[in-house]
Structure 1
């Protein structure tokens, strides 16, 4: 099996306040952040995972959370200097940092650039203060706009803005206003996704009043038209980009590439010795800091019978889908093994297969979870 490209995910698990919709591994900051000791833990953890690298360069890095912008620029400078002594980075390596508009100063953005971070993902969620309050966000609309402008001023030309739609009592007009204000700022990438109520969140126990299905459909259709009219192309279920500005790191996920995982609760996927392994780091920050040696808490090889589902679950999120040759490269399986499934879904007009390229139809995108379920063993 040919080794796929290799990326690196780093998880910073702390935030100032847990948002009521958030089901990520994030923990409210109770005291001063242990920057130095956490970086030491990340690097010690990496030492035990270097066997996964197999002479591959890192082509993208994503620092997620939590709120990674709570860490200082000096902390990231220290981290990346150390990482570069252990890992090889491609010359055009994309390094993305998630940042919340309420946790930055312009000087911090300058320091992030100097540390080698070359892409920002700003968790705006909405440009309407009433919605930000409902979502438990700690920033205002003005702070969001200022954060974008400040990042651009210090040289960040690759910026993603995260926006949610289907917010409590949101109208189509309100949703379109959020999109317009994001694109008016000149950003090159937009993550626009629907608010969903997840277990183990405050919203799950105290659900807000969300728009009805007809309104959600109107928002989705009108929003996609507006984004297309403004020159960004949809390339994944919830991702839109100017030409050439797609997230390389996320594309690696969706194309079933490999990625190392460091940090509390981080998930990784690696190919080795003809097998594909998923693994997860210990979840609680204190446990991650105190544990000696490897912080891997769970590790499991993906059974060959499960690989078609695992691959389809990622690759069919992309508008252009996948080439049958990529399926073979990433899984080591013969494409003929999934052709009966593809033929059945094509007959149902949920997939199209042309010139050995498989992708969802508009109907298939609407019922993506059902489409992917057909690939289960």
Structure 2
């Protein structure tokens, strides 16, 4: 099942798994995906951890110990999630070593309730990096307005960052600028820039979900012809913005000092509309120096029947711009769409965090030692 995945990897796309659980680690499944499916990284989020903890009994032993210590629910969550990330990082360490730190990484997110607070986000990023204590970790920071300066400060302290929840090209440019500024500050401090890495997670499928809903409401043939085009156009123009930055004199100077490129990462690549090919946001976003983090179902679909035909991003910019312009002419407000998606993205992660708190609290109560 790995021929298409190998071709994808050979085109310069790093294949990451958007999922993690203790069972996946202890069963050997994660190691198997590395060996057989060309997976070279892992991303997590509150939803993934909530699902993992609420299903099965893989966490019973640790939760029993935590309950015996009468820890808070939030402390329990941090002990549980950082343990999984640490163990997954150990599984991926050979990839990290073989790629000089480029891949073999596991991402863990700051508390989404801090998304609009810069100082607490930086403090939590430092705490998570210390707790996991593995060089092949990414700390995920959302690309909110408060998150932008937090990215700079975290990078400047030498901590590698996965910037998440990017929906607009304008915000993506701010993210890239924040990374460069962080590197410049790190360089001024005398830090080794080659030790600092970053990816910028540009969300894909949710753009189509929102835009297609608006196109359906218009109900015209012209609107119908544009369905399924917004997300790819948006992502492709983001890659054009990335190319512009890495061609700049500012970046050239940092790269000469040992800095690593902040790779674009395609996130939210599971197809939501069954009318679209289930490999759409993989096969149509092939470009060198990118990452695609996939849910397992998408990974399997690509391995089974994905058609990798080479670079499907460069050379598409004129059509991508035309597609977004056509949407604007129909009254689809790009700025309104991406702003709505960012607000909803934070709300969804906050809801998942609340669910994670509730699930963990229930497990702590269930497994608490009984009074003698």
Category of TM-score, reference length = shorter chain: 0.3 to 0.5
More helix by share: 2
